[in-house]
Amino acid sequence: MSTVPTASTHAAGSAVLKPDATQSSHGDSAQINWDSEIQLVSSLAKLQELERQIHVLRQSVPNGLLEPLVPISSSKATPLKAVAESPLLLRSELDQAARNRLSSLESFQSTWRGPELQPIWAHVEARIKESNGQLLQPTGMWERDYDVLLDELLKAEKAKEDERRREEEDAERAKAQSSEGEWESVVEKFIQRNIPGIRIVKGQQPLSLAVALAKAGMILPIKGVKEAEVPGVSEWQVSAKAPPGRSPTKLETSILDCLNSRPRKWDLAFLLDMISSYADIKSTPCVKCKQLTNNAAQLPTIRRIQSAEPHTITFDALHPDCA
């Protein structure tokens, strides 16, 4: 377990390491939720990393400054550490060593005084003031490895969030499957949005429809699949309808693969929103490379959920090699 700098260490290094009071942002600190365990542990992990860097600098700075003199003092010159051929060259090596170490110190100071740490320093100062100047960690020892603890907390938080989303999706799915005619209502609402380049035709078979993408020149038949003893539609399957005598193109196949690998396969509204994101596929650039086509002359056929606000779902367009 590593140790934190003691009070005397802070005093000795105050000229270099003390945060600039003029840069402290108490306002930013007030906006942070310091009751959050993740916020506290994340802040402690950053301070712990700073302390680790201090220990590294304590070794690397003096050793680095003296490195050009090592071959002279030890009489152990090697091809990699040869003795300087002249006093002028030695001076140049010493100057370069000093510049390198100064750069390391300046980088550390920049981190120490940077905006990411200012709210943390403000909070630490406030806590020390509340405790009448007593150090918050009087033993001078870190009690935990906070980077490890932070990783554990983030994993637990993600698991909790995933569970919450699953519960929400299960509730939505149960609601959607509770009514046999719910899917027709979804289709009617989508038609009323009158999205340019999109046309929906209800099929003659039960639980069937087709979506035409005019600009892409594609027709996508959709069929609802029901499971035994399960109310409603368990999955909406998409296929591609090519003209007689023609196989599906690479563009059609790529779009179809993306549509059928989507989440929420029971959700017809989600599927229709996803299909509508292809309405302008021949003029929509990739959000990553900002190009319409990639080096393989492919259009951005991959769709990734950008946001899922109530009643609105937005998709990002990506090339297969940018996804």
First-to-last alpha carbon distance for the chain, in angstroms, is 41
Higher pLDDT, 57 or 2: 57
Q: Is 253 helix (H, G, I), strand (E, B) or coil?
A: helix
> Residue type at 233?
V
Phi and psi at residue 292, to the nearest 5°: -75, -45
For residues 272-287, average pLDDT: 93
Q: Which of 55-64, 173-182, 283-292 has the lowest mean pLDDT?
A: 173-182
Strand partners, 141: 3
Q: What is the pLDDT of residues 72-83, one digit of tens each?
A: 766 655 556 666
CA nearest 313: which of 266, 271, 253, 250?
Answer: 271
Higher pLDDT, 258 or 141: 258
Q: Report helix, strand and coil shares of the chain as percent, to nearest 5.
A: 50, 10, 40
- Give yes or no for residue 24 having a pLDDT over 50: no
pTM, to two decimals: 0.59
Strand partners, 237: 223
% of the chain beyond a pLDDT of 70: 81
pLDDT at residue 166, rounded to an integer: 87
C-alpha atoms less than 13 angstroms from C-alpha of 64 in its C-beta half-sphere = 17
pLDDT at residue 22, rounded to an integer: 39
Domain ranges of the chain: 37-73+86-143, 194-318
Looking at the chain, list the stretches that DSSP marks H as alpha helix, in order from N- to C-terminal side.
7-12, 14-17, 26-31, 37-66, 70-74, 87-112, 118-130, 146-177, 182-192, 250-260, 268-276
pLDDT at residue 5, rounded to an integer: 40
Name the average pLDDT for the chain: 82
Residue 72, token pair as written in the block: 């002279």
CA distances from 52 to 26, 98, 151 (A): 26, 22, 18
Query: With contact defined as beta carbons under 8 Å apart, do 105 and 16 qualify?
Result: yes
Q: What is the pLDDT of residues 208-226, one digit of tens each?
A: 999 999 988 899 999 998 8
Query: With contact defined as beta carbons under 8 Å apart, do 153 and 38 qualify?
Result: yes
- d(CA 162, CA 171) in angstroms, rounded, equals 14
Q: What is the pLDDT of residues 94-128, one digit of tens each?
A: 888 888 889 989 999 999 999 999 999 999 888 88
Give helix then strand counts, H and E, for the chain.
11, 6
Residue 46 pLDDT class (50, 70, 90 cuts) = very high
Give the DSSP letter of residue 242: P
